[in-house]
Structure 1
């Protein structure tokens, strides 16, 4: 086991019980507020599905946070997911707060993607999304804005 995987296992085991599970499913789905993303995992890589909102960070906590986190374990890739009905600006704020949260960013989280999935989003060239991309990029992650149902291949 390499150092990144060791660090990843220590991190996962430090999360609240029941807030995460391991999976090698070929289609890993997150769905909330009529928004949905499927991570296509054709080679059945080992992944962690983490409930951030209501799991790692309790629902009664006032801090902003994303909904879900998917971690592809082999060369750790952290996929922060915010499933939204429409308020993209708030979604970007939630992702930004999650990317800054030490509970969600162990030392091994070098590769990061931040997904906003919702309905009727602005075009990628909109000033709002461009500003969000810069914010997220400054946190060493790449922002991906997609209409529901979204799909991403691991």
Structure 2
């Protein structure tokens, strides 16, 4: 049994024992199960990899939410103020992500962020075309995506 399945089983057991079979009950059970598995790490080979992966996914979610808030504020500010700083443009970017799931996640996270939209990926999956609302400096946008979302996704998918 892998560690994630064991953690899910512990969450379900906790929810059943407390009689609180709701999303919040399962979340509490999952957190308690994670804590129990963390304490008993030496008993389970491969447990370190599980916790590293969980940490990377948690980091990806938190950093994406941060990017979401920052870009939302930037877009709202530009829409509500009389002087518009938006200079839209289409940018091509070479992808370092190679797997289909990595590329899918990167393109979806870009599209979910206000002010940017993934338009297309070439057939060889090496180039991504992005529409950016603030495309004054295309190289800076490429670098932000490469050092931000793309790197975070590649770390999480390892």
- TM-score norm. by structure 2 comes to 0.23
Greater RCO (CA < 8 Å, at least 6 residues apart): 1
- Say which structure is richer in strand: 1
Instruction: Give 1 or 2: higher helix fraction.
Output: 2
**Bigger Rg, which one:** 2
Q: TM-score normalised to the size of structure 1?
A: 0.24
